[in-house]
Amino acid sequence: MRVGVFDSGAGGLTVAKSLLENPLFEEIVYYGDTARVPYGPKDSNTIIRYGLEAIEFFNNFDIDVLITACNTVSAYALNDMRQKAKYPVYGVIEPGIWALANKIKRQDANILIIGTRATINSGEYQKNLQNLGFKNLTSIQTGMLVPIVEEGILEGPVLDEMLNHYFNSIKTPDAIILGCTHFPLISKAIKNYFNSRPVLIHSGEAIVEYLLHKGYKKTDKKPEITIYASDNVEGLRNISKKWL
């Protein structure tokens, strides 16, 4: 089977990496909209339009299923994308919530949700977690972590200072939803910041578990990945060499 993986840029490679390490599909077609990243500060109608344009892009590839690795697109554009696509389209928010609910049984657990401005403003994680009965939710827009990761800063004082900027006034959470494609790359620093206490929810791991639960099967074949970008293909190729 051939899966499309769509992201606003390079961050979705963290989801592609999970699919490479836990093969469910023989072929992965990755598309990063590097010409228009970041999506996080954009309005909902723009994000929906970009999501629909991604469906047009994937029409060239005869994919069997599409994974929207981008949390921001998952928060706003899934319904519209599903109406336009001839194949199933999965986002990462529902799988993330499902993974959290499997790991955290106490409904009074402190849960921190971090993501882009658009993802946090959509309230999608918060609404769905509340519907499951989780009561203690904190959500923080941590968009500045995106360019830091893009710069390849995955540890050290600059990152630690930024984590301190965002997290210094909050109580150590029991779980953190890494609600942005880039954040798994700094999961070690985030965990260290909170003295290793919180359980971290990673979109890539969550979607693999979720698709297995939906009946997709593991394959023994190592997937082939082809990477496309709307701009700076060389840049994405270099990042993919480092991250994958």
Q: Which residues are catalytically annotated? A: 70, 180
Q: Is 123 left (phi over 0), alpha (psi -120 to 50) or beta?
A: left
Q: Which is nearer to ligand DGL, 38 or 198 (CB)?
A: 38
In angstroms, what is the minimal distance from the CB of 12 to ligand DGL?
6
> What 3-state class would DSSP assign to 137?
strand
Is 230 a binding residue for ligand DGL by CB under 6 A? The answer is no
Q: How far is it, in rounded angstroms, from Cα 165 to Cα 170?
A: 11
Pick the binder of ligand DGL from 142, 181, 230, 240 (CB under 6 A). Answer: 181
One-letter amino acid at 238 equals N
Length of the chain: 244
Residue 18 contacts ligand DGL per CB under 6 A: no
Nearer to ligand DGL by Cβ, of 33 and 174: the residue is 33
Edge-first strand listing for the sheet containing 224-229: 89-90, 65-68, 2-7, 27-32, 224-229
Q: What is the largest CA-CA distance in the chain?
A: 48
Nearer to ligand DGL, 37 or 211 (CB): 37
Q: Is 8 a residue that touches ligand DGL (CB under 6 A)?
A: yes
Site pattern 99..118 for ligand DGL (x: CB under 6 A): ----------------xx--
Alpha carbon 50 to chain centroid, angstroms: 16
Q: Which residues bind ligand DGL (CB under 6 A)?
A: 7-9, 11, 37-40, 70-72, 115-116, 119, 146, 180-182
